[in-house]
Structure formats: structure tokens, C-alpha cells
A and B are shown apart, each in its own frame.
Chain A
Amino acid sequence: MITIEAVRGFLKVQSPGKVIDENPVSRCSVADSADFCSLLPKRETTHLARQGQANPGEREFSDTQVDAECSLVVNDRINYRNPNANFTFVPHNAPSLTANMAAVLRSLSGRCRSPALLLLVSGRLLSSSAVTKPALHSRFLLYLTKHFYDVEALLTWKSKFKRRGIFKKNVYYGYTEKLYGPNAAAAYFILNLKGGLRFRGHSDWFRADTFNWDFLNHKDCPLEEIDLSYSVINYEGIENFEGQKSLRSLSLKSCPEVDDWFLSRLHVFQDSLEELDISHCPKITTGGLAALRNLKGLKRLDVSSLPGISNPGLTVILLEEMLPKCDVIADGYTFDMPQKEETQR
């Protein structure tokens, strides 16, 4: 039995003995139809004001008292005829999580007969603003996708082609390496991704907007600084410059495909890397920052404005502890304390 406890406005989800998540958090998605009779608070029923039911399957709770305890009977039969139904568990106009706890559950695919509830807990941070409805054209597209296989197939192809495009950009330049050597191949790869690079022993940067073939003159110089900001470099692309043993500085500002696995592969540069800039990368989370443990020689690390990390203050402190010689730069975060409940009451 998975219990969701609302304790002082924080949602604590636990299964027997194990605390899954204990934060002002737990975006709970409940997939499929809402036979909501099983989701009633154990006590304090009066505190939950059930507003009128718009359609069967839509129920809204707004809670003024936060110490009700709800036990969700996890009865897991997803109605497989409606695989795309999903629910989101969001607070009802809650800029402050402490005051209101509400569940808006909506069946997206019409009538669902079987009383089936499955609780999927994702550890995502709950955004403190109410969910805004997506734009009209995307809602229309969603409607079409749910009712027509063709639309669904077309949209799947669209995302597949996009992924294939990124894959092609990060492919291994084996032919170039065979003809011109690893340094020139790495330089060509970086320039193709519209990045910039600097060879060791030279002070001039080679950039994609002022592209010329002069980098072929430096076939024997290893790379010292690489700037791949705003590019689509991903895990596969590292193979192109993995052999650069004297890489000193790597800048990956605002790269959309740089994620935790990318960071874990950076251990190949653990002896030489001194500066790393991974600010504004949306896919990086705290687990990936733990992967930077191998880069003991790092002197400057920029982790500003990472939307994926949940506790930026604590994470930065732990990072500083983990890399003692490193200067950690972390701008773009608002280190607020959560509001105390006393002020709300």
C-alpha cells in the first residue's frame, strides 16, 4: 500500500518502510480512470471541499487544512484501451504549497469503465505555479493524436527525425581521422558543430563563423581549449575529441543535449581539465554533478542556472566539498528559504 501523507504542506510518499520521496515535490501522475471513491481522506473529510463534478472522472479537491492523510489504494489495472490517459496532481492555485493541497484529475480519453488507478510517482519538482493550459494548436494536435493513428505516427516520425539529425551531427569522423590525424579530425568536428577551438602553443581561436582551412596546418598540435556552447554535442560526440590528453578548458554553455551521461564520460580528461562551464544546460541533474568527482584537477567550474537541479544551494556546497581546489561559480539561483507555516496560518 503506497501512502501519500500530506504533512505540513509537503507530500511524503512512502511504500512500506521505504521513503520514496520526501520533498515539496512528488509530482504524482495517476494514470487512467478515476474511480475516486478509493481516494478519500481517512479522516477530516470535512476539510476537503468537493466541488461540483464537471464530468465523470474529474474531481477537484481543495484543501484548507493540510493534515489530512490520504491513502491511495493502488489498484493497478491500467485500462489498456486508453493507454494515453494521464493525470497530473497539481496544487490548485498554490503559490504557497503550505496552504493548499489539491488534486485535479482529468481523464483525457473519455469514458473509462474499469475502476483502475495506478500511481506513478516521479521525483520531479512540483512547480509552484498552477498548471497553465498549453496553446490551442498543441491541444488540437493532442486531440488528433489521441484519435488518429496516422497523426500519432507522423508525430513519432517527426521526433525520430529530429533525433536522427542530432545523431548525424555527432557521428564519429573516422575518415577524417584516418586521412589527417586525430587533432585535425577533432578540430573539423568542432567547427562543424559551430564551436570554437584553440590549439596548444597558439593563441588564436578558430571559429565557425570565420571558417578557413588553416586549422589543417596544425595537424600535430593537440587542442587546449574547446568552446562548444550552444551546440548539439552529446555523449556520442565526445568520441571525436576523447584522445586530446592536454585539454585544459571546455565550455558547454547552454547545450541542449549535454546530460548526466555526458558528464560521466568526461572522466577521460581527468588529468588535464582545469576549466569546465556547464551553465544553462537543461538536462543536467544532481546525479550528473556527482559524476564530476573524477575531475580532481578542476580549477574553475561554472554551474549557473541549471534548471534540472532541485536544491541548488545544497548542491553547490556539496560540489565545493567534493572538489576542494575548484572555484565553483553558481549564479542565477534564488536561494530562498521555504515559507514557514506559521506565517500562513
Chain B
Amino acid sequence: MCACLRLHAGARAAAAALSRAQGPGLGLGLGQGIKAWTCLTYGHRGLPGHVLSHSFGTSAVLRKDFIKDLEDQLNSIKQTALDALPGSSWTPLQTNPNLPPEQADIVIVGGGVMGWSVAYWLKQKERQRGGVKVVVVEKDPTYSRASTVLSAGGIRQQFSLAENILLSLHSAHFMKNINDHLGVLNEEPVDLQFNHSGYLFLASEDVAHIMEDNYKTQRYAGAKVSLLSPTQLKEKFPWINTDGVVLASYGLENEGWFDPWTLLSAFRRKAISMGVIPCSGEVTGFQYKINTVSNREGEQVSLRRISSVRVQMPNSLEYQPVECSIVVNAAGAFSGKVAQMLGIGSGPEDSLAGIPVPVEPRKRYIYVVHCPDGPGLDTPFLIDYSGVYFRREGLGGNYIAGTSPQEDEEPDTTDLEVDHQFFEDKVWPSLAHRVPAFESLKVTSAWAGFYDYNTFDQNGIIGMHPLINNMYFATGFSGHGLQHSPAVGRGLAELIIEGGYKTIDLSALDFRRILCHEPMLERNIV
């Protein structure tokens, strides 16, 4: 290219650079370009041959800069030209690219592990490529207050409810073959860092019979659990003080803990590679249609059908109403608030509409302690009958401990500040009593997270609400949502796409028990 053509191009580049705000267009700023060119060539003194520069010299260095400058501008104009060509994604109406699409088939409120698990399974079960358009809305992309990443990450099959046992078992099988499920071509394999150390539940005299019943249920459902007497316990774990322990239940297989962030990222990565659309925003409202019918007693019941979800962008007043046909409420600790936006709970006291979704956030603390003489590699996730639990973290003598406070001493849920006095009063005494080596430990760090606590019976709520025709719930797991997430996601996807549960029958965990006031209590909640 000869020098004069290059200068022409440079002028156009300069023009384009000047008129960038109006968008690209080669013919646009030609007049301006000529003006700019004259500016360039005549310099600030108006004499030809001088470059536009702040110094008065015309040394070789400056000339090289000028040519490099021109080359840069040529590159940028090439860029804008390519953008204008068909096939590129440039539009003259520059809208906020972070808005969710205007229409979607299924909107999932909440981007934690439960939401992304549902998204993945929906895409896995759609019958043809692009069958369902799924949008996942998450209000906090840093996950600073999300329950998933603040969880201790344990998985166990030692529950008293058969559905819970099956959910955990199937989730463990999922994690066993996680790369077959969530592996993306040419990406790194998923490494959950699963520690197969098992759970150990200790029972005192008054709860030993419950433990034996649970053991029978667990073995019937297929979990590999064993019962230990105090002597066997002492033999296996010489560091335990078996004072007051009458029976212990020890998981042999498929139990342990893993990294929740990795699972979340794996679900997310795979779902996005299958075409799920992530969106950062907060759901602030719904638009719905009301259909009033009368029931057998002659009362008027108003059924709502959501027509669009109002998603508000972070730190902005901008919002996008997403028209959708199905909404999945996987908002975790804040699902009660989302349901409130639809009027659940604000009807007359004795009607169905008056019963709110009983999920609220409850703050729980986890303390990281360091004890060099503590138990070694075979430390299970030990849960004492007093409610105190601890597990090993890494190989350097660090442990994670915590407990659930009593009902009347629930901490305030406005923030995630840690109460260190709680450790001294409630956690340490029981820890030191159970493991004498923990009398000399040091708290190195602590954090707090929310449980999506189901105040009704501390078990998950999965399924549709009878008063809202197209909202599905997958929330209220009260501390064991993470370990159930793969199986719950699959169950909910089966419900949505295939119309019924195919692998595990979770109909016992739906809304009916809440509306009929029949709690299904889990007798092994930590």
C-alpha cells in the first residue's frame, strides 16, 4: 500500500475515531475526515509536513509514532468495518447486553446449586436440541451470601425419611460419574475433591431407639451404614471419649464431603454449554392473571397464572419483563419472599391463600479451628447427640465445627456477621468433651451462612403450589439442599418435562403436607 493510500486510510480512521459515537459507517465522516487530515498534515502552525504533536521537533522517533498511530487507527477502522458487515452481532440500537431475553420457556429464580441443577436436567431431558429456553436469574453473581458456597459440603445417607435417603444416594451416584454427566468437551474434567470419610452419628440413651429405626430404614433403602457399640467405637477411633454414647451409626460408603463451589461451577458450565441463559438480576415482581373458580363448598378460589417475571438489573432501575410459561422457585433462603410477591400468605387466615411458604433464612455459623494433635486422616464427619458437629479440613490439622442453635436463640438474619461468643458457649464445651484433644484448639477463622429453613418440618418442598398454576418449588431443604441437588434437579425436570416422577417418587415432599398440616419430620437434622 503506498503512503498516500495509507494516509487516506489514516484520515478515515481518524474520522471514524472522531465519530465513533454515531456508529460505524465508512461514508459518514468523510467531510470531517478531510478536516482531520488537514489538521494532521498542517500541524498546529498550519504548515504542511508537520505532524500534530506537542513538541516542535520532527525527529525520526516522532515520525515512527505517527505511522504506528496510523496503523492502530487502521486496525480499529478495520474492526468497525467488520462489525458493520452482516453476521456480526452489532446493532445500531445499543441496548444493555446484560438484560435477560424478552421471552423464555422456563425462568429459574435463583442461581445456586439447586437452580443450576434444575437448569442442567431440564436441558438434559428436553427431547430435541433447543426444545426449552431456560433462563436462570441470580441476584448476586459473586455468591457472597449464597447458601451453596458457604456450606460445609457434606453428603450423607443417614436420614430417617426414605425420600431423603434415596435423594442422597442418587446424588452420590451422580457425583461418582460426574464427568460422564457434566463433562464438557475440551474442558478440564470436574474434580469435586470428594473426601470419602463417612459420617458418624452418636446417640445417647434416649435417642438410641430412633437411631436403630433409622438404621433399618437406611439399609432397606440401600445405604451402606453400620452400627457400632461404644467398645467398637473406641477401637476404631481411639481419640473419641465415649462417655454417654450408647450407639453410633457409621457410614461406610458414599458419604463424606466435597467442594460445593466446584459442583456449582460444573453444573453451571455444562448448563451454559447446553444453551441455558444466565442472567444477573433480581426478581422484583410477577405479572399474573387471576382465574376465579368455586370449589365444592361453594367458596371462591382464585388461581394465579404467571405471565411474566420482572427482572431488575443490579444497581439500576432498569428492568426486563421476561414472558415465560413456567417459573421455578429455587431462591433458597429467600424463596419465601419470592412467593410473597405472588400473594401467597396474604389471603384470609383460614384459606389456602393464607398459608405462606414456610421457608425463611436462618443464620448458622461455621468455625475453622486448628488443633495439631487432633484426629487424623480417618476423621469422619462426627455429629454428636448434642447437635455439635465437626469434620476435618485439609491435612494440616484444621477442622470445621459448628452447631445449630436452639429455637429460641436463633441469631439475627440481617447480616452474616459471626458471633464468636457462640463458639465459646455452645460449641467448644461439647467438642472438648467428645474429643479430649480439642481442649487445646485455636479458632483461626469463621463464617456464617443461611439455611433455607423450612419452619414447618425441616424437609424440602418440591413441586407445584396448588394456587399458582405454573410455579414449581425446589426449596426449604434446611441444610441438606447441596447434597440432594443433583437428584432433586432431576426429579423436578421429570415433573416439568415428563409430567411425573420417573426415578424417585418425591410426591411425599410436595405442598400438600403443608396445606393439610401434616408434617413429615426428619429426626436427624443438624
A positions within 8 Å CB-CB of B:
1-2, 15-20, 29, 31, 74-78, 80-81, 83-84, 86, 113-114, 120-124, 142, 145, 152, 155-156, 159, 163, 235, 260-261, 263-265, 267, 285-291, 293-294, 296, 311, 314-315, 318-319, 321-322
Contacts and interface: CB of A to CB of B under 8 A. Distances in A.
Contacts of B198: 293
Contact of B278 (A1, A77, A261, A288): A77
17 contacts: A78-B278, A83-B184, A122-B188, A123-B259, A142-B186, A260-B196, A261-B194, A264-B196, A285-B193, A287-B197, A287-B258, A290-B195, A290-B197, A290-B377, A294-B252, A318-B395, A322-B377
Contacts of B295: none
Nearest to A270: B252
B196 A291 contact: yes
Nearest to A117: B141
A77 B98 contact: yes
Contact of A288 (B196, B259, B280, B416): B196
Chain B interface residue number, banded:
35 or more
Contacts of B416: 16-17
B376 A318 contact: yes
Contacts, number: 136
A75 B314 CA distance: 11
Interface of B: 89, 97-98, 141-144, 149-150, 176, 180, 183-188, 191, 193-198, 224, 236, 252-254, 256, 258-259, 261-262, 265, 268-269, 272-273, 275-278, 280, 368, 376-378, 395-396, 416, 418, 445-448
Contacts of A16: 144, 416, 447
Contact of A263 (B196, B277, B378, B448): B196
Contacts of A113: 89, 97
Contacts of B376: 318, 321-322
Contacts of B445: 17-19
A118 to B, nearest CB: 8
A84 B198 CA distance: 36
B341 to A, nearest CB: 24
A264 B155 CA distance: 14
B98 A159 contact: no
A159 B185 CA distance: 9
A163 B180 contact: yes
A208 B319 CA distance: 68
Nearest to A78: B272
A83 B272 contact: yes
A113 B94 CA distance: 12
A289 B150 contact: no
A-B interface, 9 closest residue pairs, ranked by CB to CB distance from nearest: A17-B447, A76-B141, A293-B378, A291-B196, A287-B195, A318-B377, A264-B196, A83-B273, A321-B376
Contacts of B396: 314
Contacts of B89: 81, 113
Nearest to A2: B142
B98 A114 contact: yes
A29 B268 CA distance: 14
Contacts of B149: 15, 18
Contacts of B368: 19
Nearest to A86: B187
Contact of B280 (A18, A76, A267): A76
Contacts of A286: 195, 395
B144 A321 contact: no
B265 A289 contact: no
Indicate the member of B143, B195, B275, B368 with the most A CB atoms within 10 Å: B195
A20 B186 contact: no
B395 A1 contact: no
Contacts of A78: 268, 272, 278
Given A20-B261, A84-B184, A287-B256, 8 more contacts: A15-B149, A77-B280, A114-B98, A267-B252, A285-B191, A287-B194, A290-B195, A290-B256
Contacts of A19: 368, 445
Contact of A122 (B142, B191, B277, B446): B191
B196 A290 contact: yes
Nearest to A73: B142
B446 A17 contact: yes
Contacts of A17: 416, 418, 445-448
B254 A264 contact: yes
Contacts of A163: 180
Nearest to A158: B185
Contacts of B142: 1-2, 74, 76
B96 to A, nearest CB: 10
A122 B262 contact: yes
Contact of B185 (A152, A318, A321): A152
B395 A311 contact: yes
Contacts of A265: 253
A261 B98 CA distance: 41
Nearest to A235: B176
A267 B378 contact: no
B196 to A, nearest CB: 4
Nearest to A266: B253
A124 B395 contact: no
Contact of B224 (A1, A152, A267, A314): A267
A261 B176 contact: yes
A315 B196 contact: no
Indicate the member of B142, B258, B268, B276 with the most A CB atoms within 10 Å: B142
B378 A290 contact: yes
B195 to A, nearest CB: 4
A159 B186 CA distance: 11
A319 B183 CA distance: 31
B144 to A, nearest CB: 6
Contacts of B188: 29, 122, 124
Contacts of B141: 74-77
Given A15-B149, A287-B195, A321 B254 contact: no
Contacts of B395: 286, 311, 314-315, 318
Contact of B150 (A18, A264, A267): A18
B277 A80 contact: yes
Contact of A296 (B194, B236, B377): B236
Contact of A114 (B97, B258, B446): B97
A123 B262 CA distance: 9
A84 B196 contact: no
Contacts of B144: 1, 15-16
Contacts of A314: 395-396
A264 B280 CA distance: 40
A106 to B, nearest CB: 14
Contacts of B253: 264-265, 267
A318 B98 CA distance: 49
Indicate the member of B97, B149, B186, B188 with the most A CB atoms within 10 Å: B186
Contact of B186 (A77, A84, A290, A318): A84
Contacts of B280: 76-77
A260 B142 CA distance: 31
B278 A80 contact: yes
